[in-house]
Amino acid sequence: MQKKKLTGVVVPLGALYTKENQVIGEFPDLVPFASFCKEAGLGLIQLLPVNDTGTQSSPYSGLSAFALHPIYIRINAVPGFAALYKSDAKFKKTYDDFTASNKYAGRYDYDSILNTKNALLKMIYDTTPEGKTGEAGDSLSKWIKSNSWIKDYAVYKNLKWNYMQASWKSWHDDDKHKTPEEITKLWNKKAFKKEHLFYAWCQMIADEQFSTAVKTVHEMGLLLKGDMPILMNEDSCDAWAYPDVFNQDLRAGAPADGDNPTGQNWGFPTYNWKKLKEDNYSWWKNRLKTASNYYDAYRLDHILGFFRIWAIPQADCNALTGHTEPYASFKIDDLYELGFDDDRIRWLSRPHIPTRVVEDITWNREVAHNVLKVLCTRINEEELWLFNDNIKGSCDILNTDFGTLLDKQAADRVREALVKYWSDRTLLEVAKNKFIPLWTYGQSTSWGTLNEAEKEALTELFETLDKKNLKLWEKQADEIFTAITKSVKMIPCGEDLGVGIKCVPATMEKHSILGLRVIRWCREWSQSDQPFVPFEDYTPLSVATTSVHDSSTLRQWWEDEKESVKAFILANAQAFGIVGAEADAGPLFAPKKSELDAKATELAKATFTPELAQNILQAAATSASQWFIPPLEDFLYMDKTLWLPNAADERINIPGTVTAFNWTWRIPCAVEELAANKELIQKIKAISAR
């Protein structure tokens, strides 16, 4: 464990650019950036994930847990480039047009860069012995032997290319499911060997370029920290090649909360921890071992998911009928003992749709009956309906075709209404005779019909489950962390934002996993005035930061969230200069609360400045956290010449959106200009020394 207090910086690799390379940040760009960091007194560089994500720009939508992203390969440093550039006019023009059209102009064009780089790499590869003969040379053979995962990846990538990048779930049945033996057989098939070796060759080049940069960074005395997304895209090499590792019937997400009333469905498959445990977590160990080739520390994304993941049935579009994995449950006999009969249990556990829900849309009861018959069964002669057994989730409802019964607008309204009823229940039967409370059971129709005694009896039953769940979650995480964190020498860190489960901090501490403290969110949320946690009270086993890639930047926070800013100023009045020596002289001379409030209100309304950025960074650097690692963009706020006109344009990602804007941020000046910015370097150095 790194005991020394350390200040570092977080940056997406693609955001870096130099005067020599203005296309997209690449592995070799780490070297000049590390020189700047060293000069500024920073001891650690944290990179966002650099694994292959295919056509997805998000680094958290992994196509492979092992392969590096070829988009970060420096083309003109690939062996064979110079000779081909000199001899092949078409290659020269393609490369020259590529570099000329991607001169720095704000955010980069992910799709265009990826497609052109792949084409350029293929052109170089075709001039290599492997590209000419389809046989691996000594260097590539040796590299393949040391990286056993490459065969699965190369076969998958080639199949994906032949299927025009379509998801493997839409491939022919013969290609959807391959045993390890079948993948190896396909890897060795002569007709495809040249193509398979291309992907292996690209990975060898990426590994060599990254490893060379890492070696230089280490020689400068800096540490490198990687980022480990907890989940894999369902359309990934790993989900295809290692089906036992994943549960394809469930999707990960988050339960409903104030900001997300229907929860979040991330679309990624959950893990099959039972199978992973049987295999001694070898997939995770191999993943960490591969990362340890480059990093000294790593961040486990969404660490709560190792304790329990919010699992949503594949047939559901929203997350309301999800549940935790693992989970404690009760049986129907437990409900009998509480006095509930079969009819009442059905009332609690299955949605009951009144005819009026559809009738209010169609204005005709007979039409409403006919519409409901498409996917429901009527309960006797009542005006109540139950979903048919073939309806497995809200996606089935949204995909229901009502034919000529309804026009498009009415059909859409009916589907929307019925989707709401799908999660209108108190109990969820997760598996046969395994019941749990729905996360939002208190809002259900059936809960509202219970008397106080019934509610109290069920609440006690639910509380018993909560206690059992805590033990299950703690046991699972403890077993996983015992196995995987000790398998490598890297320092483990965990993204534990918003976690309110008691067993999480203690388990992380037991395994020496550093938590994450985003200063604007470190508050006592359960208290009425929600005070900020003093910096000196931060958990030492943690990483403090000012922003994260999914949040607004420091500047945007100051401009857009004035209530939070004012509360932060009041909590750190001395750092902002609104409490000075008079406060230290004793209570008689201390400013009144009303005066402090007025000063904080006035300052919060003020325009953000480099001086304010410096004050915040200096104050945050004094926290008790072991490491202080802000994002690069927040450091750059100490020099106004590096600001963009709009603060919103400086953020990396806007969660819940999929646009060309996300994940394509670039630093506002070349790395060489940063290295020459002595004033900024001195400001960062002063913060690093705190």
Q: Which of 288, 285, 284, 147 is nearest to 205 (CA)?
A: 147
Could you report the per-residue pLDDT of 379-417, keeping only the tens digit for each? 999 999 999 999 999 999 999 999 999 999 999 999 999
Of 50, 576, 555, the C-alpha closest to 294 is: 50
Return the pLDDT at 81. Answer: 98
Give the Cα separation of 137 and 139 in Å (integer): 6
**Could you tell me how far CA 313 lies from the centroid of its own chain?**
20
pLDDT at 103: 78
Would you tell me how many other CB atoms lie within 10 Å of the CB of residue 412?
13
Q: What angle do CA 613, 615, 616 make, to 5 degrees?
A: 65
pLDDT of residue 589: 47
What DSSP element (H or E) covers 295?
Answer: none
pLDDT of residue 102: 83
Alpha helices in 354-407 (DSSP H): 356-362, 365-373, 394-398
The model's pTM is: 0.93
What is the maximal distance between C-alpha atoms in the chain?
88
If the chain, 690 residues long, is cut into consecutive pieces of 10 residues, what is the mean pLDDT of each piece?
82 94 95 98 98 96 97 98 97 96 85 97 97 96 97 98 96 94 96 97 98 98 96 96 94 91 94 96 97 98 96 96 97 98 97 97 96 97 96 96 95 97 97 97 97 97 97 98 96 91 95 97 90 95 97 97 95 84 45 82 95 97 97 98 96 92 95 97 95
| CA 200 to each of CA 19, 146, 192, 197, 205: distance values in angstroms, whole numbers, following the listed order | 30, 12, 13, 5, 9
Q: Check residue 591 and give its pLDDT.
A: 58
| Residue 624 in tokens | 């008790």
